[in-house]
Amino acid sequence: MTLTSTTRPEDLLAQLDQRVRELVRREGVDPQRETGLVRRIAEQAVLAHDQRSLTGAVAPVDDPEAVVGELVARVSGFGPLQPFLDDPTVEEIWVNDPSRVFVARNGRHELTNLVLTAEQVDELVERMLKSSGRRVDRSQPFVDAMLPAGHRLHVVLDGITRGFSAINIRKFVVRAARLVDLVELGSMTAQAAAFLEASVRAGLNIMVSGGTQCGKTTMLNCLAAAIPGGDRVISAEEVFELRFAHPDWVPMQTRQAGLEGTGAITLRDLVKESLRMRPSRLIIGEVRAEEALDLLLALNAGLPGMGTVHANSAREALVKLCTLPLLAGENISARFVVPTVATSVDLVVHLGLDERGVRRVEEIVAVPGRAEGDVIETATLFERRGSELRRGSGMPPRVERFTRIGLDPTRLLAG
């Protein structure tokens, strides 16, 4: 590689990039999984260049550390987006078109000054999907995938969107691993957290509801962390998002169809399959279609479980759970579904975002198990009044499950 003292910085970076890629290929390094080795190769390439610059044969590097970081981002990371992926304050990144790249911080979004080219966007999509084993093309123009660091990727190709492909990256940012962490973050009170932890231990069926980006998956992770270690947990998700420590846990995710249009594994397939795996607990990442019927049947048969659902309130979450099973077939009627939901779901934890973008528990509602017509009876255990989550007047269902493990729900709710 021969460079003159008048080499432009971008040309210098491009040639160092080429050199690092050659070394990575020569040494058989997987750039996506062996980032440390890529960084070492980049450091060696920059050091060798700096040593040559002492002779005047090549231009010196002004900031070697920054150049190494850029090379690692290009070769092993995701190029111009890598700084946002490395920034712990960034929660989500999305690209509407190459000149409009947004990020979200603390629940609020902002337009960045990053400007890409259409070729860079296409290259980023190809590189990100390569690590996930999923694909996107004209016959399958949108895809959900998981990046190596655990971030969730969603891509919609040009043709479905207008003008340019759209990219969303929802970062996996660990702020809470247990319910007590949510108390420290101000999402709920210690009293509510103690009750929810006892409810999980007692085997109550819990649904977490809320809008986009309100913290449903984080809450589900924290609830799952309270499952006793002796239970066998099976989870089913569109893509792997759950992260909790448990000694006996089998996570499963869906699979898209292959090039022949066959081989797809749906969330409903996973729910049915999980029942053959001797589960003690069943977790569904997000209930959004006909898999709601299979989940309800499992819960109604006595298998404790939990999941999330998009809704604007706890009451609307129950209405949605009564509607989604109807998608499973014409022979499924509301006359069957409504009482089944009433006797299968025990608690609904509804989350929201306040005006500052802070995620918090808005209400915790109990479902006693009764329905009048198409209306399911509920009892408010906790509700937010102003800025405080306060105890309501309701009582939890299935008190016998609490007493079986030596807990008194009345005392828990009394604080």
Q: Half-sphere exposure of residue 42, counting CA atoms within 13 Å on the CB side?
A: 24
Cβ contacts of residue 302 below 8 Å, gap of 6+? Answer: none
Q: Tell me what pLDDT residue 5 has.
A: 47
Q: Tell me what pLDDT residue 403 has.
A: 94
pTM of the predicted protein model: 0.80
As its CATH architecture, domain 82-170 has: 2-Layer Sandwich (3.30)
* Cβ atoms 364, 189 nearer than 8 A: no
- Cα dist from 212 to 102, 108, 238, 276, 353, whole Å: 16, 12, 16, 32, 9
What b-and-e string marks burial along 309-330, b requiring 16 or more CB atoms within 10 Å of the CB?
Answer: bbbebbbebbbbbbebbbebee
Which sign does the torsion angle of CA 217, 220, 222, 224 carry? negative
Candidates 74, 23, 27; CA nearest to 49 is 23
Pick the CATH number of 179-413 from 3.30.565.10, 3.40.640.10, 3.40.50.970, 3.40.50.300: 3.40.50.300
- Give me the residues of the chain with pLDDT under 50, please: 1-5
Q: Tell me what pLDDT residue 208 has.
A: 98
Q: Tell me what pLDDT residue 33 has.
A: 67
Q: Tell me what pLDDT residue 31 has.
A: 75
Q: Within 10 Å of residue 356's Cβ, how many Cβ atoms?
A: 8
Q: Tell me what pLDDT residue 120 has.
A: 85
- Domains 82-170 and 179-413 belong to one CATH topology: no
Sorted by where each begins, the domain ranges of the chain are 9-77, 82-170, 179-413
